[in-house]
Amino acid sequence: MSQTLLEQSLGQLACDIPGATRIFHTFKLDFCCGGHKSLREAALAKDLDPLLIADALHILQDAGETQHDWRNEPSEALIAHLLTRYHARHREQLPELIRLARRVEHVHGARSSCPNGLADHLTDMQQELEGHMLKEEQVLFPMLQQGIGPQAAPPIQVLRFEHDQHGEALEKMLALTNHITPPADACNTWRALYRGLLEFRDDLMQHIHLENNVLFVNALNPHH
């Protein structure tokens, strides 16, 4: 049975199986920007055993947990969710994360484990994300709300490309922070920063996943 999961895309599995994204995070599989890859292909690219991951997904399927399936919802409902749950949230998260990162770098900059350069990197991410979210809010979302999804192919292509850049920026954030793992003797500020970074990473990946694998797909295939 797990065999059949191997040929499905990460994006589809993330939509189909509640909790799948937790497993993908554990194995560091990119289900948002790399969501078009099959489970087999994505696992082998990371030297992981695809069957091991498929078995874990299978157990989840049997557990019968539920999650909101956005694929059959009107795009207006998904857009409203994206705006309140992710766009507004990133605008709250980033200024605070940048502030904490500056403090940690200022106090602990001499330590080899200190994420030097993180505050500047997060500032770059904030600017990129802000420009990106404005394009969605001012161009793409109004097009989809007017029901002209198929004509939205050119902006969608641009936004997918920018999502890939956000994915690369997340990779760099992970590299700077030892995969968001604080040293054993990290102070409370450092721990608070990394807790916030984990939440930001999970939110951003889920945000991109819902856009790439649900909103954009539905817009371009209105009668699926």
Distances in whole angstroms, Cα of residue 120 to Cα of each of 88, 104, 199, 216, 222: 21, 13, 19, 31, 41
How many Å apart are CA 94 and CA 120, to the nearest integer? Answer: 11
58-to-1, 28, 152 alpha-carbon distances in Å: 8, 18, 36
Q: Are residues 37 and 102 in the same domain?
A: no
Q: Is residue 181 part of a domain?
A: yes
Host domain of residue 171? 75-220
Task: Provide DSSP, 58-77.
Answer: HHHHHHT-----GGGS-HHH
One domain, residues 33 and 120:
no
> How confident is the model over 166-224, as pLDDT tens digits?
999 999 999 999 999 999 999 999 999 999 999 999 999 999 999 999 999 999 987 64
Reading the block at residue 211, the tokens are 């856009």
Please check whether residues 111 and 181 belong to one and the same domain. Answer: yes
22 and 122 in a single domain? The answer is no
Chain Cα centroid distance, residue 98: 19
CB 60 within 8 A of CB 20: yes
Residues 82 and 46 in one domain: no
37 and 110 in a common domain:
no
- pLDDT, one tens digit per residue, over 135-152 is 999 999 999 999 888 899
**128 lies in some domain:** yes
* Domain boundary residue, one of 63, 84, 106: 63
138 shares its domain with 31: no
- Tell me, yes or no, whether 54 and 108 share the same domain: no
